[in-house]
Chain A
């Protein structure tokens, strides 16, 4: 199956609605059998941190949306290695059941493989 769309998630959860609304858009596209590939980069990698307790600020956990991804056919996500390093986040800490994390160094090369990019 060839994907034509890459969704780039580069906003942190909770502080910016685009994080949640981006994942919702990914899930909606996947539900229509147009599953995009997904790249987490910049502050978007903070969406992947474990142990988020969004209830403390009366928000819904974004992790539920992430955990729903495999049910909609998203079984791997790309993660920008440089963004992790800049933020001192070890990829070992990031784990979402049923999803294979693929670390990417050449994000430009990745982007160039797609017809469309949706930025969130």
Chain B
């Protein structure tokens, strides 16, 4: 199962949309850096799948409160996700 990592705002680039198009069943999605702007209110660009992860520090730093369906994680859990998944695909 693949871990997808998106670090771009969905309003700026197609990274999130391209990623969602390339997700298979059971894949995990992690939002980091400006990618966390997709974690707040529904974007109108693409629905974020349930079970999506968001790097908490990046969300807090930006004053973003992620939706309840999103799991907030720290770096340690991020590394665990990398261990649990292969391959790891970054969308930027």
Q: Tell yes or no: A107 within 8 A of B by CB.
A: yes
User: Taking beta carbons and an 8 Å cutoff, which residues of A are in contact with B?
Assistant: 6, 8, 10, 41-43, 82, 106-109, 111-112, 114-117, 119
On whether the beta carbons of B21 and A82 are closer than 8 Å, the reply is yes
Interface residue from B1, B14, B86, B89 paired with A8 (Cβ < 8 Å): B89
Segment of B22-30, B31-39, B51-59, B69-77 in the binding face:
B22-30
Chain B contact residue count (CB 8 A cutoff): 17
On whether the beta carbons of B87 and A116 are closer than 8 Å, the reply is yes
- In the complex, which residues of chain B have a beta carbon less than 8 angstroms from the beta carbon of A43? 14
On whether the beta carbons of B14 and A42 are closer than 8 Å, the reply is yes
Interface residue from A42, A106, A119 paired with B89 (Cβ < 8 Å): A119
On whether the beta carbons of A117 and B87 are closer than 8 Å, the reply is yes
Interface residue from A41, A109, A117 paired with B18 (Cβ < 8 Å): A41
On whether the beta carbons of A111 and B89 are closer than 8 Å, the reply is yes
Interface residue from A109, A116, A119 paired with B91 (Cβ < 8 Å): A119
- In the complex, which residues of chain B have a beta carbon less than 8 angstroms from the beta carbon of A106? 24
Encode B1-32 as 1/0 by CB contact (under 8 A) with A.
11000000000001000100111110100000
Most A CB contacts (10 A, CB to CB) among B24, B25, B90, B92 go to B24
